[in-house]
């Protein structure tokens, strides 16, 4: 049986995961452009054109997978995925974002948990990691709720709006107490 094209969410109506489409770029840009949304991230250009290009690159990439988190009307409310998938070394990096109108409902946690499980079971990944700006407390909470362990501080890891920033490294290691 072929591997599922995307993870299944736990029973959390009214949301589900589907393939990310170029026509999602406008909705994605709309919420990423809101004040404060990308404040604690390294996002750069979040214009619809830039995001359409990014969506097309995900579609063409054998090492990056990104899905749309959609509401009951099939409208984009977030994205979640794995970047830098390395099947030889059985690792990848988890990434996600969520429209702030949907914050506080456990949706990012459920989507991240579903992708973590999919990566472990479908792709047989052993290590799934995530990097998070040290000031991004919401994202840190998501990573800790899904059982990822903080491994350490990556000093001067990325540029964030022209400033060098520190990031925490989190990881899930399959076949440990925090396994999928």
> Which CATH number belongs to the domain containing residue 88 in this structure?
3.40.630.30
Residue 7 in any domain: the answer is no
Residue pair 114/106 in contact (Cβ under 8 Å)? The answer is: no
- pLDDT for position 175: 79
| Cβ atoms 115, 129 nearer than 8 A | no
In this prediction, residues 147-157 reach a mean pLDDT of 97
Average pLDDT in the 122-127 region?
A: 95
Percentage with pLDDT > 90 across the chain? 72
Range of the domain at 116: 16-173
Q: Predicted confidence band at 106 (pLDDT cuts at 50, 70, 90)? A: very high
- What pLDDT is stored for residue 41 in this prediction? 74
Instruction: Give yes or no for a contact between 98 and 77, defined as CB atoms under 8 angstroms apart.
Output: yes
What whole-number distance in Å separates Cα of residue 25 and Cα of residue 68? 11
Confidence of residue 34 (pLDDT cuts 50, 70, 90): confident
Q: What is the DSSP letter of 166?
A: E
In whole angstroms, give the CA distance from residue 29 to residue 21.
13
- In this predicted structure, what is the pLDDT of residue 2? 46
Residue 113 falls within a domain, yes or no?
Answer: yes
- Please tell me the pTM assigned to this model: 0.89
- Residue 93 resides in a domain: yes
Mean pLDDT of the chain: 89
Q: Is residue 121 part of a domain?
A: yes
Query: Does residue 90 have a pLDDT over 70?
Result: yes
**Across residues 120-132, what is the average pLDDT?**
95
For residue 10, being part of any structural domain is answered with no
Asked if residue 4 is part of any domain, the answer here is no
Query: Domain for residue 158, yes or no?
Result: yes
Q: How many residues does the chain have?
A: 180
Higher pLDDT, 143 or 62: 143
How many domains does the chain fold into?
Answer: 1
């Amino acid at each position: 049986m072929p591997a599922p094209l995307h993870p299944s969410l736990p029973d959390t109506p009214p949301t589900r995961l589907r393939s990310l489409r170029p026509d999602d770029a406008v909705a994605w840009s709309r919420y990423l452009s809101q004040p404060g949304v990308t404040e604690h991230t390294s996002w750069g250009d979040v214009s619809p054109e830039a995001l359409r290009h990014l969506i097309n690159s995900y579609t063409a990439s054998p090492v990056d997978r990104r899905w749309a988190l959609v509401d009951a009307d099939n409208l984009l409310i977030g994205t979640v995925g794995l970047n830098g998938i390395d099947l030889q070394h059985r690792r990848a990096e988890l990434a996600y974002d969520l429209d702030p109108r949907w914050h506080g409902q456990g949706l990012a946690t459920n989507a991240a948990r579903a992708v973590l499980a999919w990566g472990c079971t479908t792709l047989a990944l052993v290590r799934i990691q995530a990097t998070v700006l040290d000031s991004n407390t919401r994202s840190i909470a998501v990573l800790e709720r899904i059982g990822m362990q903080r491994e350490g501080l990556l000093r001067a890891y990325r540029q964030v709006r022209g400033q060098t920033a520190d990031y925490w490294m989190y990881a899930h290691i399959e076949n440990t107490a925090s396994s999928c």
